[in-house]
Amino acid sequence: MDVDPPNYDNVTINDSDVHSIVLSYLVHNCYRETVESFAAGTGMNQPADYLEDIEKRKKIFQCALEGNALKAIELTEQLAPDLLESNKDLHFDLLSLHFVELVRSKKCNEALEFAQTKLTPFGKVQKYVEKLEDFMALLAYEEPEKSPMFHLLSLEHRQQVVDSLNRAILAHAKLPSHTAMERLIQQTTVVRQLLNQDHAKDGHPPFALKDFLNG
Amino acid sequence: MGGVEDDEPASKRVKLACGELKGNPNGSLLSEPSVGSSRDLMARLLQSEDDEEVIGSKGVIKKVEFVQIIVKALYSLGYKKSGAHLEEESGIPLHSSAVNMFMNQILDGNWGGSVVTLRSIGLKDESTIKSASFLILEQKFFELLDAEKVMDALKTLRTEIAPLCASSNQLRELSSNLVSLSQGPSAGSSNQANLRAKSRPKLLQELQELLPPTVMVPERRLEQLVEQALTLQRDACVFHNSLDREMSLYTDHKCGRDQIPSKTLQILEAHSDEVWFLKFSHNGKYLASSSNDRSAIIWEVSANGEVSLKHKLSGHHKPVSSVSWSSDDHKLLTCGVEESVRCWDVASGECLHVYEKAGVGLVSCGWSPDGKWIFSGVNDRSISVWGLDGKEIECWKGQRTLRISDLEITSDGKEIMSISKETAILILDREAKSERVIEEDQTITSFSLSRDNRYLLVNLVGQEIHLWNIDGDINLVAKYKGHKRTRFVIKSCFGGSEQAFIASGSEDSQVYIWHRGSGELIGTLPGHSGSVNCVSWNPVNPHMLASASDDGTIRIWGLNSHLQQQKKQQQVHSNGGSIAAACNGRT
């Protein structure tokens, strides 16, 4: 089977659909100024408080990524009051970001106290106990970067937590927690892989988004 | 080296001479010379190096070790003064001074000091030093936590324990103790129940177990050695058949024959024909016998060992070849030869159920250990399984059993055994559905299973009894000979204390008893006037044996001492008293 069949060209694409896809991506990732100019340039209407919300979300992530988890929590409470209440996992993850910050700045005694007061109340549920033990183990090392738990200190970990927070806030505001763009790409990849499986003997390489983008 | 010895006062040498071991488990006596030949002692001592001085006739006991375990024993018995005195007098300290310092430091909580001392004790193994240091620092950590000094504990964890740790799991566990997850009021309350640190003496004990015995003598070593010797003596004692556990240290343990049942205490005459089979119940309170007279009898064994008739079970139309007790001894199965199997209630003597199969006859019977199923061999060579209600649940066809065969089931219900061919016994695993076979070179007439399910005793036509191990690999362990068998099926059994004996019937009208371990024939009991078909040893009373004979009687055998007691009692009763019908003093 031909990988790029000619009947692609028979599929029409609506401009406004494309605009929505791009916009949803920009909104999701808080590119407020870009959203404004894009909306203006394509003639789309955006409600005013929409942009405010984006700004607020942006602030929250920046705080969290920098390591100021407590401020991030405060802002989240303001924007979406009962979000953290109903999302214990997220709450725990955010608090532990602060803990990790303290450990990184070698403020071990403070970290211990913080853990005792803020994190142990989660300990009533078994799954948090294990997570808690992971974090507590960091305290035992003079050089936590060299411990088996070093990934907890990394930027990737913070990014992950921030991502979850973003999705939660969006969901809370009844907005889609995954952008249309994401979903479309995911769908395409899966479909292409299935097709390739069926026709593997035809010698086509497996689908890779990078290659596709590079033409 | 004479140097050290010359300084000791003469009296000390004499003391040693008297105090040496006077015997050893192998029975050969040390012929210990009298006081005057302390020269000999001196010579022996001179032969060896300082630390390598040996005592004892075989020269394998190192003096220093010997004295040290005695000192240790004195201390653990609580005789501190004596212990210290012996250390001083013998010049042999229990522990080196470094070890003493170490022990004190542990008990005082001087952790840093103890870790340092650890290095000077003379341990060669680096990993032992590491493990011991870890134990000590772990104790420090927990004691700090218990004293609510959490920050100090944290410091200890980071700076002292973490560098030692090979395993991140250990660190993880320890650090999780830094915060308390309990809901109770943790602020300021560390009562006894919440203490995480173990006691210091316990820590010392754990360290002792970790360190090699050359550094710290293990606890109770002397007791262990003595117990080893006693166990060896008891195992070697061929007549050992008593329930009591006392053994004396003064002489080697050796029982006399008087512990083996050898005299007839009772003759039971309720059957009217040959008695083919009998078996004691599991709790030793009942005896069941079956006979050619088509009946079975349940006898009751009283607390003083007297046996009396409880129920006569009639109903079979054929001679009854065997019986089987349920695990709880509430029910009894009886098997009529190539007929049916009947289930009886022991308390009332009532027949609860008759199991039969159309067109075939049943030849053997057995209970499942949980009492829910009944097994039976059938004369078409199969084995059937019934529920209590009489419904047949399973049937293993094929060459599973013979017309004349015993049926045994292990006490966990997993395996069933029967004679499947003339020269083979089949062991069927019910769950795995697999089979094992014991192959003999002669025809098998009967067999029985030991209480621990590990051995089978097999009677053969050629007048031998073979003992097979069936736990794991099947192999022949022992053979017993001496009894007579030419025409009839004779049964044998395990018995006595720890099932250390084998008993069998014989066609020469005697009961034969062998010591299981050594194979030695230790008793032949005359008295019956016909072939002895079956014997059963009371599982609860190792001094009681029962035998069934073609002369129509059952004899109860006991110890000679019991017989003397009986005779005395009878003399008291004979003046107008009535004696239980089955009881007479003739042997």
CA distances from A42 to A19, A23, A29, A30, A134 (A): 8, 10, 19, 18, 49
CB-CB under 8 Å, A147 with B154: no
- Chain B interface, mutation test: which of A92, A139, A143, most B Cβ atoms within 10 Å? A139
pLDDT (tens digit, 9 = 90+) per residue, B446-483? 999 999 999 999 998 878 899 999 988 889 999 998 88
- The reported pLDDT for the residue numbered B125 is 83
Lowest mean pLDDT among A205-209, B7-11, B136-140: B7-11
Around A192, how many Cα atoms within 13 Å sit in the side-chain half-sphere?
17
- The reported pLDDT for the residue numbered B328 is 92
Q: By the 8 A CB rule, do A162 and A154 touch? A: no
- The reported pLDDT for the residue numbered B527 is 92
* End-to-end Cα, chain B, rounded Å: 69
Q: Which of the listed ranges B48-57, B431-440, B568-577 does the model predict with the highest average pLDDT?
A: B431-440
- The reported pLDDT for the residue numbered A2 is 52
- Record the tokens describing residue B267, joined without a space: 């003759």
- The reported pLDDT for the residue numbered A4 is 60
Whether residue B43 is predicted with pLDDT greater than 80 in this model: the reply is: no
What distance in Å separates the CA atoms of residue B60 and residue B19, rounded to the nearest whole number? Answer: 16
Which residues in chain B touch residue A119, judged by CB atoms under 8 angstroms apart? 179
Whether residue A200 is predicted with pLDDT greater than 80 in this model: the reply is: no
Lowest mean pLDDT among B44-58, B193-207, B286-300, B345-359: B44-58
Point out the residue among B159, B168, B175 whose CB comes nearest to the CB of A139: B175
- The reported pLDDT for the residue numbered B19 is 40
- Mean pLDDT score of chain B, rounded to an integer? 81
Q: By the 8 A CB rule, do B510 and B502 touch? A: no
Which residues in chain B touch residue A148, judged by CB atoms under 8 angstroms apart? 168
Whether residue B536 is predicted with pLDDT greater than 80 in this model: the reply is: yes
The minimum CA-CA distance between B156 and chain A, rounded to whole Å, is 9
Residue A38, SS3?
helix
B429 backbone dihedrals φ, ψ, rounded to 5°: -95, 115
Query: B 501-530 residues with CB below 8 A of A?
Result: none
Percentage of chain B exceeding pLDDT 70: 85
pLDDT (tens digit, 9 = 90+) per residue, B55-88? 888 888 888 889 999 999 998 898 989 999 999 9
Put simply, whether A116 touches B (Cβ < 8 Å) is yes
Where b means 16+ CB within 10 Å and e means fewer, B543-559 reads bbbbbbbbbbbbbbbbb
Query: What average pLDDT does the segment B240-264 reach?
Result: 77
Interface confidence (ipTM) of the complex: 0.71
